[in-house]
Chain A
């Protein structure tokens, strides 16, 4: 697998949320507003890149028997540091995300990438993998939160996470009378998630079906050619 493929894998083919179904707990819970999605996404990207880099750096000296506890200590430390930074510099984000920041520790994406990628590849590739996977996760969050926020409130807005009073943009898409507020609730999260996962699966299936059809057509053409040659 070359570097570019490796980097873009996180978006569609190995999208952690809608394709690998990793880290869904926080996805369902926090995707109520765009602000939460971006804040959570950035926190996960930061943790993912740093944990991948550190684990890749120590991969040759980590004894195989205790690699999982070592990974967990590294990840937990990073998450705690990120949590402190968010508490100190983006207090409104901390109130909005609450317990889901410390829960990044047990987000399967991070331990999953550490175990399956960073422990076997060099530092640069691991950092790239962390960025790609993190961006894939963030994109999934953003897509879900935009759908849910627009349907449930009719408004799409984004405030400065470092200063809650500063609005960066805000516009109304659906008139107030036609919003479906249930999309703010867990039910809405499940519906949105199911539809998006189904859409991605449908897209991937169509792609493989197309590739197979192409292969068959090629084979048929070759067979016809061979027949003619006879």
Chain B
């Protein structure tokens, strides 16, 4: 009995010390890690707005529990960027879409696409981006024929983001 107590207390003590050390390290590094993540995010945002400065982007909390809307940013207070993750044929698409104040699509950029090269990857093509830009986010958008499995979730995602924009932003 005494033996068991000794072992338990020793292991608990070791675990407690390690927990304390981890908490200390976490306290030290967590703000820097968060800053790094935000900086990496801003690199992506600059793909769409190359002229904007880092300080022009403001992150907004996502309300509700949407599975597709990951992050929302505003640029200089005029345009709203949604970062979305949607399913596809294989690994799906991670992309960003920006609306102006009237809900019109102004920018569209794909961060990563894990679907078939040459088929699903067409969602990252300029021609698809051109077909979206200038349209209202909540109207019916064209998918890519031949790549519907990848492009339909993208279009649905844009519609969802537009809905969110209409509900929460306007």
Contact = CB atoms under 8 A, between A and B. Distances in A.
Interface stretch (B18-26, B104-112, B116-124): B18-26
A81 B22 contact: yes
A88 B118 CA distance: 37
A66 B26 CA distance: 27
Interface of B: 6-7, 10-11, 14-15, 18, 21-22, 25-26, 28-30, 32-33, 36, 40
Given A66-B10, A88-B32, A73 B40 contact: no
Contact of B11 (A66, A80, A87, A88): A66
A223 interface: no
Q: How large is the interface on A (under 10, 10 to 19, 20 to 34, 35 or more residues)?
A: 10 to 19
B7 A65 contact: yes
Contacts of A81: 21-22, 25
A119 B165 CA distance: 61
A80 B25 contact: yes
Q: Is chain A's binding surface mostly helix, strand, loop or mixed?
A: helix
Interface in A62-118: 62-63, 65-66, 69-70, 73-74, 76-77, 80-81, 84-85, 87-89, 91
A84 B29 contact: yes
A76 B18 contact: yes
Contacts of A69: 11
Contacts of A66: 7, 10-11
A88 B27 CA distance: 12
B26 A84 contact: yes
Interface in A23-81: 61-63, 65-66, 69-70, 73-74, 76-77, 80-81
Contacts of A77: 18, 21-22
A63 B40 CA distance: 47
A70 B11 contact: yes
B39 to A, nearest CB: 8
Given A85-B29, A88-B29, A73 B15 contact: yes
B33 to A, nearest CB: 5
Given A88-B33, A89-B32, A63 B7 contact: yes
Given A70-B10, A76-B18, A77-B22, 16 more contacts: A61-B10, A63-B7, A66-B10, A70-B14, A74-B14, A77-B18, A80-B22, A81-B22, A84-B25, A84-B26, A84-B28, A84-B29, A84-B30, A88-B29, A88-B32, A88-B36
